[in-house]
Amino acid sequence: MATATTGATVRTAGNALILLLGVAVFLNYVDRGAIAVAAPVMKGELGLSATDFGLAVSAFFWVYAPVQLFAGWLCDRFSVYKLIAAGILLWAASTLLMGLVGGFVSLLVLRIMLGIGESIAFPGASKIVARHVPAERRGVANAALAMGIALGPALGTLAGGLIVASWGWRTMFFLFGLATLLWLIPWQPLVRNLPAQVANMDERRVPARVLLSQWPLWSISIVHALGNYCFYFLLAWLPLYLTKSRGFTITEMTYLASLGYAVQGACAFGYGHFSDWWTRSGRSEAACRKWMMVLSQLLAAGAILGLAYADTAFEIGILLSFAGAATAALSMNLYAIAQMYAGPRASGSWVGIQNALGNLSGIVGPVVTGIIVDRAGYTSAFLLTAAIAAVGALWWAFLLPEIREIDWDARRG
């Protein structure tokens, strides 16, 4: 009876943790994407060129990507629950202070601080999912994170756009920072009440040299970067494209952009339940996730190519919905597959490395796009991004190694 009670307690605590992690990822994307919502007004007020704006966007990734390596290592060796709380405190403060920036330099510094704080989110979340969630519920758990990735930009763009239109971009940053600070209130008592054997679970560590010698890690990191290039292109540049190139008002832009993210969130929820049903039925979880990714990257390529030539709100809305459906599969399966490869022993370090390499496109992409927009216009930037999505589909289909948990004890020898 005591064992059954403990098991139920662990499951309940795990469900609460996953729910709060989904909210944390939601806030993560609200805060990192706020600069794009503010861009149509902020860019002119601060005197930023398209290249300056691209640098400010990419500054987040200058530290967010490399710090993931250290963050993942920390998650496999210290209390992942405390590390997540510390990271959120830092990124909330950075968001709030962004409402006080006076120029390019201060904006750059705060974007760097934001990147440091947010670097803990995905290694930490993956560590907790791998520790608390069995395979037959892995889809829904990662769907909670994927919904945060989708709904953060959706509601962040919607609420942020309305706040900017009514009260200005500085107010938006103040309110978003304060909202993130509130997340810490339920997290602390939940972690304190975790069963001791779960909160202090001791898993044998996987040496970094063993981890780095695995081709599956490098392969999924490459395809992660290809997918992220497309996602960050839309996240960072869509508001400017819709207002400056297609002539929509800030309010119209807000509703169009939010539509794509809303579809992304709904699809993530559906994909999570579908993949768990598939796994419970005895079919291959690995095959399901792999081919979801092939199809989603092909869909992303077609949607982004179409956006380069679409003119009407109806056309753009449909194409953004397709792009959202594609991104939902990416954001859910990238981390689920990483957890499948790494297992609970190495998920923090694995995802830290994967996210570090995968987010290099966040460093390069916004700058490349800014240069292309300044010199050749938006159409060329859309064409390049669609081609990168197509390469991602080919990689998933033909170059990713078999998806199965690595036997770390065998690899150590």
DSSP 372-405: HHHHH-HHHHHHHHHHHHHHHHHHHHHTSPP---
Over residues 30-51, mean pLDDT = 83
State the chain's mean pLDDT as an integer.
Answer: 87
Radius of gyration of the chain, Cα coordinates, nearest whole angstrom: 20
Query: pLDDT above 90 covers what percent of the chain?
Result: 49
What pLDDT was estimated at residue 195?
66
Domain boundaries, the chain: 2-412
Q: Which two tokens stand for residue 271?
A: 């994909």
Q: What is the pLDDT of residue 399?
A: 94
Q: Which residues contact 199 (CB under 8 A, 6 or more apart)?
A: 79, 81, 191
Lowest-confidence region among 67-81, 218-232, 378-392: 67-81
Residue type present at position 379 = T
The torsion angle over the Cα atoms of residues 116, 332, 220 and 280, rounded to 10 degrees, is 140
Report whether CATH 1.20.1250.20 matches the domain 2-412.
Answer: yes
d(CA 222, CA 396): 10
Average pLDDT, stretch 157-178? 90
**Cα–Cα distance between 56 and 254 in angstroms, integer?**
21
**Tens of pLDDT along 174-224?**
999 999 999 999 998 888 877 654 555 546 788 888 999 999 999 999 999
Torsion over CA: 182, 184, 187, 189 (sign): negative
Token pair of 284 as six digits: 């291959």
Using DSSP's 3-state secondary structure scheme, residue 206 falls into: coil
**Tokens 């103040």 belong to residue:** 174
The answer to whether the CB of 179 falls within 8 A of the CB of 160 is no
Q: Which amino acid is at 143?
A: A
**Residue among 306, 355, 366, 308 at smallest CA distance from 331:** 355
